[in-house]
């Protein structure tokens, strides 16, 4: 789950911002006026949330991978 979350949500962040950068000088982008700032702010906020949740998922996955399951099964019945 962590790997898929990374690929779909985190790895796509730079690709998305590159696409935004490529349309900054377009006529339609300039025509949107204040709405473009709302779009940028919303996307930044969602990127921060995605990075926050990925850090949580990564920490959990790290705990699962480093846990000695034989010891855990023996002592936590």
pLDDT of residue 49: 98
- Per-residue pLDDT, 15: 95
What is the chain's pLDDT, residue by residue, as a tens digit (77 residues)?
Answer: 999 999 999 999 999 999 999 998 899 999 999 999 999 999 999 999 999 999 999 999 998 888 877 777 777 76
Task: For residues 73 and 75, give the distance between their C-alpha atoms in angstroms, rounded to a whole number.
Answer: 6
73, two tokens: 């099964």
Residue 45 backbone dihedrals phi, psi, to 5 degrees: -60, -45
Give the pLDDT score at 77: 65
54, 11 contact by CB (below 8 A): no
- Predicted local confidence at residue 47, as pLDDT: 97
Burial of 10 (0-12, 13-18, 19+ CB in 10 A): middle
């Amino acid at each position: 789950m962590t790997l898929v979350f990374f690929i779909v949500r985190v790895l796509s962040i730079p690709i998305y911002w590159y696409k935004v950068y490529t349309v900054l000088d377009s006529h339609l982008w300039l025509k949107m006026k204040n709405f473009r700032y709302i779009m940028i702010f919303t996307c930044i906020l969602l990127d921060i949330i995605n990075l926050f949740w990925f850090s949580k998922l990564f920490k959990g996955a790290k705990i699962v991978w480093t846990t000695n399951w034989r010891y855990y099964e023996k002592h936590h019945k």
